[in-house]
Amino acid sequence: MLKIGVPSKGRLMEQCFDWFGARGVMMRRTGNEREYSGAIEGVAGATLVLLSAGEIPRELAAGRIHLGVTGTDLVREKLADWQSVVVELAEMGFGHADLIIAVPEVWVDVDTLDDLDAAAAAFRAEHGFRLRIATKYHRLVRDYLRAHGVADYQLVDSQGATEGTIRNLTAEAVADITSTGETLRANHLKILDAPPVLRSQATLFAARGASWAAERAVLAGVLNRLGLPGDAGV
């Protein structure tokens, strides 16, 4: 049975259903709102698995689902050497968000990554510890800052309400996903004038490590309906 994992609730789930449905793969929830069960109509041999977007990279990596829809940010953050674990089949055109770095608006002399590097050095000299950047994207942010020569910082974990960490004095800057920037502005933060750490959107992935022996024919049929090449590269 070909298992397709999609986000289990909210706007992202609805957009997934719309995207697949427009291509002839009909998905729907079954049961009540508290039951994470669903069905696929019109494709024999395929079943729907409803998961949180954050769980889908893990399930793909473990090979427990064959296809999965989640953000590129989650795959690249959670899966080391992600291209050896999953195949990116299609960007889906929704769920757009940028992973950015933001600092307090009152830091009038900090607008670029070079400015942040200088500010971090000055902060450490004055306070005796490294400038703290709150984020849940440790791998992506660390690689990005290293590539741009930013030092004298430390990443502190934040799994929710990251923008509030500065007000709560648990961080001096943040690295977080944003689609409009409104929450950042509401918390008196400004995005650095720099390319985003990552531009993310909902993406369909295939698991390299899943069992494909009996599922390849079903996969070919699904990909044909989706208008994607028949060879997923798995």
Digit-coded pLDDT (tens) for 178-226: 998 898 999 999 999 999 999 999 999 999 999 999 899 999 999 999 9
How far apart are the C-alpha atoms of 99 and 196, rounded to whole Å?
6
* Tens digits of residue pLDDT in 55-90: 999 999 999 999 999 999 999 999 999 999 999 999
Q: How many domains does the chain have?
A: 2
135 with 185, same domain: the answer is yes
128 with 165, same domain: the answer is yes
Residue 228 DSSP code: -
Its pTM surpasses 0.75:
yes
The predicted pLDDT at position 230 comes to: 72
The CATH code of the domain that includes 220 is 3.40.190.10
**Other beta carbons within 10 Å of 87:** 17
Domain housing 186: 97-199
Q: Is residue 234 part of a domain?
A: no
Residue 152's identity, in one-letter code, is: D
